[in-house]
């Protein structure tokens, strides 16, 4: 298993970690298999989405803000209740295919750490399995 360290610079942001994950896949020596990326945080997640237009990342953050607004009456007393709900919606892990020693992503896809309670130091764990 490998760890990617990410320092987020705003409260809510999607950070592209694709190049780091792909380097770890290449270094693993696995030619065909799967790569699991998981985030060990309860207020940050991981997703795969478009990498061509940065407006898509901004739209995802905007839509999640509207779906889970700060003004709701959360009983969690730390003040980051919305971040926990957004993380539950996005998820804390993703499984990706590995083919020919590289991530098998669509033309416009990238892997993103989703920060919902930043800025913070975050980690993504990467495990590559296969032959």
Tell me: the pLDDT tens digits for 4-52? 999 999 999 999 999 999 999 999 999 999 999 999 999 999 999 999 9
Indicate the domain borders of the chain: 2-130
Cα torsion 87, 92, 95, 98: sign: positive
CATH 2.40.160.100 fits 2-130, yes or no: no
pLDDT for res 123: 98
Split at pLDDT 50, 70, 90, the class of 86 is very high
pTM: 0.96
Arithmetic mean of pLDDT, 77-91: 97
Q: Which helix (H) or strand (E) holds 28?
A: helix 18-28
Contacts (Cβ under 8 Å, ≥6 apart) of 47: 14, 60, 90, 91, 94, 111, 112, 114
pLDDT for res 63: 98
């Amino acid at each position: 298993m490998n760890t990617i360290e990410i320092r987020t610079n705003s409260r809510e942001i999607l950070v592209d970690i694709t190049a780091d994950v792909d380097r770890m896949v290449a270094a693993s020596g696995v030619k065909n298999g799967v790569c699991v990326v998981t985030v060990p945080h309860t207020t940050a997640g991981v997703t795969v989405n478009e990498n061509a237009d940065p407006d898509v990342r901004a739209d995802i953050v905007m839509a999640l803000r509207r779906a889970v607004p700060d003004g709701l009456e959360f009983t969690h007393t730390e003040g980051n209740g919305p971040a926990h709900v957004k993380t539950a919606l996005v998820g804390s892990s993703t499984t990706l295919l590995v083919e020919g020693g590289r991530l098998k992503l669509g033309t416009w896809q990238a892997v993103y750490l989703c920060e919902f309670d930043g800025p913070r130091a975050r980690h993504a764990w990467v495990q590559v399995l296969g032959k």
